[in-house]
Amino acid sequence: MTIDWNHFTPWMSLVGGIVLGLASALFILFNGRVLGISGIVGGLLRPKTRDIVWRLSFLLGMLVAPSLYVAFIGPMVATIDASWAMVIVAGLLVGIGTRYGSGCTSGHGVCGLSRMSPRSLVATLSFMAAGFITVFLLRHAFA
């Protein structure tokens, strides 16, 4: 087993975690809502007039932020060792899982765990276990 040290980014990860935690805390403090991406996007599928603007603004920010990063810091190269079909199937499975789990990893894992929600603990453990098992099976058992 080899370790690619180019992907070991403790400082970037620490800053990212702090920003995500701060954003989640500020969002619940000022809006009284959990910062879960699936809930934000799902709310656009069944919109209420007062909810559309902030939801679209949030998604626009998620699309614009990487462009700003590239403009100021420079491009990052991401390598995905999967076919487009695999990526699409994985995305659909994640979407189905968020519906059955009543939320996603950001909603349950970041916001739910910080509020000590037992339901979020079970959901997060389930997400992580499913991910670990899937990677093990695809990379080792069926490879």
Residue pLDDT, tens place only, 78-103: 777 778 898 898 888 888 888 888 88
Q: How far apart are CA 140 and CA 134, in angstroms?
A: 10
Mean pLDDT on 38-52: 82
Q: How far apart are CA 107 and CA 58, in angstroms?
A: 15
Q: How far apart are CA 44 and CA 42, in angstroms?
A: 5
Asked whether residue 1 is domain-assigned, the answer is: no
* 142 pLDDT more than 60: yes
Mean pLDDT on 50-64: 89
Asked whether residue 3 is domain-assigned, the answer is: no
Dihedral class, residue 74 (left if φ above 0, else alpha if ψ from -120 to 50, else beta): left
Range of the domain at 24: 8-141
* Largest CA-CA distance found in the chain, in angstroms, rounded: 53
Residue matched to tokens 């276990």: 129
- Does the pTM surpass 0.75? The reply is no
Q: How far apart are CA 127 and CA 120, in angstroms?
A: 10
What domain count does the chain have? Answer: 1
What SS3 state is found at 28? helix
| CA 90, 41, 27, 74 torsion-angle sign | positive
* 4 pLDDT more than 70: no
Asked whether residue 20 is domain-assigned, the answer is: yes
Asked whether residue 112 is domain-assigned, the answer is: yes
